[in-house]
Amino acid sequence: MPEASLATMPRHVAIIMDGNGRWARARGLPRTMGHKKGVEAVRDVVRTAGDIGIDYLTLFAFSSENWRRPEAEVSDLMGLLKAFIRRDLADLHRENVRIKVIGDRENLRSDILPLLLEAEETTRNNTALTLVIAFNYGSRDEMARAMQKIASKVRAGLIEPQAITPELIDAHLDTVGIPDPDLIIRTSGEERLSNFLLWQAAYSELVFVPEFWPDFNRDLFLSTIETYAGRERRFGGLTAKPALMGQ
């Protein structure tokens, strides 16, 4: 397969990494083995994103609704995140990757939050790929928290209600400063957003692939980018814009 050409590269790719459990079940393995294998796919995709010059890669790692899963699975997922940051932070830093975490940071386990903050702090001045980790993230929760911040400012007389524009709302979301995703990929054949970047996805191109997340790799990633490159983005207008005009 040819490499996707630079001219049609999305600037921001966001991925709903789904299907770890089904990948494991298909092999008669416990779900946790699927999550473990999923981390390898994360490494592959982060490397590929850096290689092909994507500016922002957002990975949905744990949703605000994933707490509904059995305690043992939640605990496995937390353990894997911790292990990933401990093991990979130095490499990512060396590769000039900047890490940013989105999601609610309140009430996170005391062994998780410091690691996330360390990852952000260590890599804050890096200039290659920005890796956005959506952890304890839910779009409705993010919007509710943004509205609370805005409402407090209105009550304090700092802003008028009329000043609440889409741009002001953007500025109060966890994703402040990050361009909207050009391309959102979901693996595992499910075709829904599951509370991921609902506001930011207004004009994102959506690509659903049947493979389970642990099977996602460089070639599949490149082929989703090729699919994206064939899409025509209009942003509500009439003039067809090539995908590269994204933002």
195 carries an active-site annotation? no
- Active-site option among 44, 66, 215, 217: 66
Closest to ligand IPE by CB, 4 vs 16, is 16
Which of 104, 170, 190, 226 contacts ligand IPE by CB under 6 A? 190
What are the φ and ψ backbone dihedral angles of 47, each rounded to 5 degrees? -60, -45
Residue 63 binds Mg ion, judged by CB under 5 A? no
Closest to ligand IPE by CB, 188 vs 204, is 188
Number of residues lying near ligand IPE (CB under 6 A): 18
The separation between the first and the last C-alpha atoms of the chain, rounded to the nearest angstrom, is 27
Residue 24 beta carbon to ligand IPE: minimum distance, rounded to whole angstroms = 8
170 carries an active-site annotation? no
Cα 137 from Cα 63, distance rounded (Å): 5
Site for ligand IPE in 50-69 (CB under 6 A): 60-63, 66
Angle in degrees, CA 209, 211, 213, rounded to 5: 105
Residue 233 near residue 241, CB atoms below 8 Å: yes
Residue 18 beta carbon to Mg ion: minimum distance, rounded to whole angstroms = 4
Identify residue 111 by its one-letter amino acid code.
D
Which residue shows structure tokens 């009430």?
107
Which of 9, 10, 12, 18 contacts Mg ion by CB under 5 A? 18
Residue 82 binds ligand IPE, judged by CB under 6 A? no
Closest to ligand IPE by CB, 48 vs 187, is 187
Site for ligand IPE in 200-229 (CB under 6 A): 213
Which of 10, 21, 138, 246 contacts ligand IPE by CB under 6 A? 21
Closest to Mg ion by CB, 18 vs 174, is 18
Angle in degrees, CA 241, 244, 245, rounded to 5: 50
Question: Could you tell me the two tokens for 16?
Answer: 């709903």
Angle between helix axes 113-123 and 71-94 (nearest 10 degrees) is 20
Identify residue 110 by its one-letter amino acid code.
S
Neighbours of 127 (CB within 10 A): 8
Sites of contact with ligand IPE (CB under 6 A): 16-22, 60-63, 66, 77, 188, 190, 192, 194, 213
Positions marked active-site: 18, 66
